[in-house]
Amino acid sequence: MNAMPMTMDGGARPEAMADVPGVCELPLTRAVVQYRDVHEVDIPGGRIQDIGLALVLEGKFATAAEVVDLGSASLKTLDLSHELVVLDWVYEPTLEHVTDLLRERAAAPEISVDRLAPYCFQMALRLLERIGFGPLTRSTVLRIGFRDICRDLDMHEGTSVRIVMEPGRITRAHMDYDGAALVFRTSSTEPDPMMEASLHEAFPSSSLWQVTPSVGEALVSYEVRLPVPITLAESRTALGTVRKGLAHLLSRFEPQRFEAVEQHLSTFGERETLARLNLREPRQRATPLLAKGQRPTDSNPTVH
């Protein structure tokens, strides 16, 4: 057994904790982490290519880490002062390969074929397959699925779907991945009867909620709360409900745009990235237990 030399030099601090004393001394380099807007040091929100799953390239400090998003392959700096979920670790050769691809892209940015993004996204899919579906991976799965919906219905830099209800009146729908809810933001501080009626038509089996801030005169928003999925199949069903409801709203308020979207999808098909995931599903099958005379659509529990 090798003896480890000891030192009483108080100035020799572990490099991992060079900036914050008295906390865990585990470096995050090589970790695959799940991050949210609150962790982003630069511009929060990210782009539609981001999936909220990142590989830590440099995690030797307790306050910040340099990462690469496994969806967009873009470099980010994350604030580590908030709770961060570590899903897995990659081997050193994998980290070295990602670093080499980053250097290759930086040395020749004019090259049209980016080898890094496909490699990173394939890494993310393999990781999800290895971990399986559960509370820790649910938000990432929903984010990947909703990203497909946004690309099909309203391709732009943000991960949301914009709907012009009337000239000068735009609502934006984005997804709360942790709460399994579709959020519609309005531009009014008062309830919107037209929006409420439209949401009831578009999501007849879902639980609808009006969110009004209790302090100040902030804008009113609405939530379509979906049953929290516990399997990949249930996640795809929930995302199918989201897609169908958003398409209904588009057909009502923007029929010409909806027609163009339909023509595009009939030619190229709908994006379905989650179909590429090969996850082990539970062997047992769960079905809702209905009261006498109750229809299946009447029982749509939402757990939040």
Tens digits of residue pLDDT in 28-39: 899 999 988 766
Write down the residue that tokens 């209905």 correspond to.
Answer: 290
- The pLDDT of residue 129: 93
Asked whether the beta carbons of 68 and 76 are under 8 A apart, the reply is yes
- The pLDDT of residue 53: 93
- The pLDDT of residue 299: 43
Degrees to nearest 5, angle at CA 226 with 225 and 228:
115
- The pLDDT of residue 41: 53
| C-alpha to C-alpha distances, 19 to 29, 60, 206, 283, nearest whole angstrom | 16, 10, 48, 48
- The pLDDT of residue 279: 76
C-alpha to C-alpha distance for 165 and 170, rounded to whole angstroms = 6
- The pLDDT of residue 101: 92
Mean pLDDT of 198-220: 86
- The pLDDT of residue 169: 83
- The pLDDT of residue 154: 87
Q: What is the mean pLDDT of the chain?
A: 82
Least confident of 16-20, 45-49, 104-108: 16-20
Q: What are the boundaries of each domain within the chain?
A: 18-107+115-131, 138-278
The answer on pLDDT for 251 being more than 90 is: yes
Mean pLDDT of 135-150: 93
- The pLDDT of residue 40: 65
- The pLDDT of residue 220: 86
Reference 144, options 40, 48, 26; nearest CA is 48
* Axis-axis angle for helices 232-253, 255-268 (nearest 10): 140
C-alpha to C-alpha distance for 77 and 54, rounded to whole angstroms = 10
Please tell me the pTM assigned to this model: 0.81
